[in-house]
Amino acid sequence: MDFVGKKIGYAVTGSFCTFDKTLRAVQNLVDLGADVYPIFSYSCKMDTRFTTSNAFVTKMREICGKNGIISIQEAEPIGPKSYLDIVVIAPCTGNTLAKLANGITDSPVLMAAKAHLRNEKPLLLAISTNDALSMNLKNIGQLMNMKHIYFVPFGQDDHEKKPNSMIAHLELLPESIAAALKERQLQPILVSRM
């Protein structure tokens, strides 16, 4: 798949356990020729047992060749300047899903999504949440019915220990982007472990 000339906003929220996969997914997009603009939620400033904030943000910046967006004020011009072809939120936590579904804009990632959607361009969500099949199921359903919002196919990541948890299959990110740019949802949307 060739993404030469495509400008992709890549927004990162919590779900720290997926940050290694996120870095690999971003590197893959860059290798495919995409011009990737990193967008960081406030949670990216946290050190965790998986990585330090500085290590993750520095690596994202190196891969993309850009400092990225780290504030609501920096994200707002995405709307009027309309310079991105698509915005991807990966990982997209349950917190972000709930706020997006209810029109709450209190982070750089949510402002980027709101600003981008005003231009009627695709927003692609790669969910990673422990409450996808419980508290956030209604938000997922609501977002699936909204215009210009698409999902990377997802499934349960550990049905025995975390039966309500679902995670996107980031290996399907390029195909999901290609479909969303054509205003299509990649199918099937629910997939078992690969």
Domains, the chain, with CATH or none: 7-181 (3.40.50.1950)
- Please provide the DSSP assignment of 104-136 as one string: ---SHHHHHHHHHHTTT--EEEEEEETTTTTTT
Give the pLDDT confidence score for residue 51 in this predicted structure.
59
Q: Which pLDDT belongs to residue 16?
A: 53
What per-residue confidence (pLDDT) applies to 56?
A: 80
| 140-to-13, 97, 111, 144, 175 alpha-carbon distances in Å | 16, 7, 19, 6, 20
Omega before 77 cis (within 30°)?
A: no
pTM beyond 0.95: the answer is no
According to the model, what pLDDT value does residue 48 have? 56
pLDDT value, residue 55: 76
Asked if the peptide bond before residue 80 counts as cis, ω within 30 degrees of 0, the response is no
Segments of the chain scoring below 70 in pLDDT: 14-19, 43-53, 193-194
Q: How far apart are CA 47 and CA 53, in angstroms?
A: 5
The predicted-structure confidence for 29-83, as pLDDT tens digits, reads as follows 999 999 999 999 876 565 555 555 677 888 889 999 999 999 999 999 999 999 9
